[in-house]
Amino acid sequence: MGPGEFARGALMRLSRVTGDRRHRRRLAELGFVPGAVLSVLNRGMHGGLVLALGDGRVAVDALTATTLVVEPAGE
């Protein structure tokens, strides 16, 4: 599932990131590593998302959002 399919505020756990090496590395450096817990804070135009990742806030475009494979995470 992609994070765009989750309701605002719902917690999800990152399974993996798809895409090329550079993209995955960059996301990993920002904390997008398997097991990381995220939630959608806001939806922008054209499918862009503002995500909460721990204490950090990261904006991603629609394309990047589709490279994040997530599953629901319980409270």
Partner 1 sequence: MNERPLTKTLLTKPCCEDDAPGNVNAGDPRVALVGNPNVGKSTLFNMLTGARQRIGNWPGKTVSVAQGTWRSPHGDITLIDLPGTYSLLPGSPDEALTRDLLVDRGMDGRPDLVVITVDAANLARNLYLLAQVMETGVPLVVALTMVDIAKSRGIRIDAGRLAELVGAPVVPVVPRRGEGVDELGRVIGEALAAPRRPAVPVLGADLEAALESVTAEVPGEAAARYPARWLSIALLAGEPVPGVPEETTAAARALGTALNTDDDLDDPELLIAEQRYAWVHEVIADVVTRNSAGHATWSDRVDRVLTSRWVGPPIFLGVMWAVFVLTTTVAEPLMTGLQGLFDGPVATGAGRLLDAMGAGDAIRGLVMNGLVSGVGQVLSFVPLMAIMFVLLSVLEDSGYLARAAFVVDRLMRLIGLPGRAFLPLIVGFGCNVPALAGTRILSDRRHRLLTGLLIPFVTCSARLTVYVLVATAFFGSAAGTVVFAMYVLSIALVIGMGLVLRGTLFRGMAEEPLVLDLPPYRLPAVRVIGAQTWLKLQAFLKTASGIIVATVTLVWLFSSIPFGGQGSFGRTPIEHSVFGAASHAVAPAFAPAGFGDWHASAALITGFVAKEAVVSTMAQTYSMGEPADGNEPGGLGAALRATIEQTSNGHPIPAVLAFLVFLLAYTPCMTTVAAQRAEIGGRLTLFGIGMQLTLAWLLAVAVFQIGSLFL
Q: Which residue has the tokens 């590593």?
A: 33
The reply on whether position 28 binds partner 1 by CB under 8 A is: yes
C-alpha to C-alpha distance for 29 and 17, rounded to whole angstroms: 12
Residue 24: count of CB within 10 angstroms of its CB: 16
**Stretch 33-62 residues interacting with partner 1 (CB under 8 A):** 33-34, 36, 41-46, 48, 50, 52, 54-61
Please report how close the Cβ of residue 23 comes to partner 1 at its closest, in angstroms.
6
- Radius of gyration of the chain, Cα coordinates, nearest whole angstrom: 11
| CA terminus-to-terminus distance, the chain | 18
* Binds partner 1 (CB under 8 A): choice among 5, 63, 71, 72: 63
Residue ranges in contact with partner 1 by CB under 8 A: 16, 19, 21, 23-31, 33-34, 36, 41-46, 48, 50, 52, 54-61, 63-64, 67
